[in-house]
Structure 1
Amino acid sequence: MSFENVTRYFQQWNREADIMEFETSSATVGEAAETIGVIPARIAKTLSFSGTEGQAILVVAAGDTKIDNKKFRHFFGFKARMLASDEVLLQTGHQIGGVCPFGLARELDVYLDISLKRFETVFPACGSSNSAIELTISELFQFSQAKEWIDVCKGWEETGIQKEQALHSYE
């Protein structure tokens, strides 16, 4: 049902036909990058965390990043704790491997990490372990109904793209 929910979600922008379905798995960053034919960093992975009062929060980040626990705690005011797989399904309506910020089962706060701003387009999943859509950074912000751009990831600054450039691009 998750893939169908995302497809219906994209109908409001007439973008449902842009969703790609693959014969092979795109459940992990590596599999998605190989299947689509892009570098792993351009895969927009959606990470789900326990928020306040039992409500999950989603952070969408570049595929080559890791959560920086210190930055996360500083921004959100609590420790980063990823949801268990059953919690992910309950909160988002998507199985791990297809989690995305679209067509959610509940209204959740979505944040985009600045690591994504290095790219004109990125590829988030679409509710299944063999789907994706190519979106511009501004489309990702709009379609995910993101609250804001945040800086809670590490590991991507070493790739040669200046963090300062990412902070000020695609605003």
Structure 2
Amino acid sequence: MAGKSVDRFRAALMQRRLTDTIVTLDASARTADDAAAALGCATGAIVKSLVFSGPGAQPLLVLGTGDGRVDEARVGERVGGPVALGDARFVRDAAGYAIGGVPPFGHNQDLPTLIDRRLERYATIWAAAGTPETVFSMTLTDLIRATGGEVVEVG
């Protein structure tokens, strides 16, 4: 299954005309700290793809920094109603990937996306590429273009 998830994400990269920078790590990158240690980068340069249940139980993607927290109240104010972090089933249904491997795009459906302004600190950012063992790099500009997301304060 892991191979299929990565292949599906690779197709999403190609569809957006982005360079395939997918790397398979020797160890799981299920947490931002794990990924940063494996890549030798700052934890903040790791993009956390968090799927929330928003107003009306609609899925919402928040792309946060690996070293930052997402303030659910602030996100709720931004989207016009309360939000809650989705459970494993909600995430899988909305995104098509398991928690720990959710990439920032290439999901089962288009997800409204908020991008943490704190990612502006990094020239290169890293995100999951379909599994907890795979990541890819890109610029914030490419992330914004690929997701159609809005850069906002989420912390």
Aligned length: 151
CA contact (8 A) 1:102 1:126 kept: no
- Asked whether the equivalents of residues 123 and 132 of structure 1 are also in contact (C-alpha less than 8 Å), the reply is yes
Shift of 1:145: 2.6
Tell which structure's C-alpha radius of gyration is larger: 1
Report the equivalent of 1:140.
143
Q: CA RMSD in A?
A: 1.4
For 1:116 and 1:98, locate their aligned partners in 2 and report how far apart those are by CA, in whole Å: 19
Which of these residues, 26, 49, 59, is aligned with residue 46 of structure 1? 49
- Quick check: 1:43–1:124 contact (8 Å CA) kept in 2? yes
4+ runs of 1 displaced by more than 3 Å?
none
> Contact conserved, 1:2 with 1:103, CA < 8 A, in 2?
no
2:109 counterpart residue number? 106
Identity over aligned pairs, percent: 27
Displacement, 1:100?
A: 1.7
Out of 131, 146, 151, the residue aligned to residue 149 of structure 1 is 151
Secondary structure at the residue paired with 1:108?
A: coil
- Structure 2: segments with no counterpart, 5+ residues: none
The offset of 1:52, in angstroms, is 3.1
TM-score by length of 2: 0.90
Please state whether the residue corresponding to 1:4 is helix, strand or coil: helix
Look up the match of 2:127: 124
Instruction: Please give the alpha-carbon distance, in whole angstroms, between the structure 2 residues aligned to 1:14 and 1:47.
Output: 22
Give the 3-state SS of the residue equivalent to 1:6 in structure 2: helix
TM superposition score normalised by structure 1: 0.82
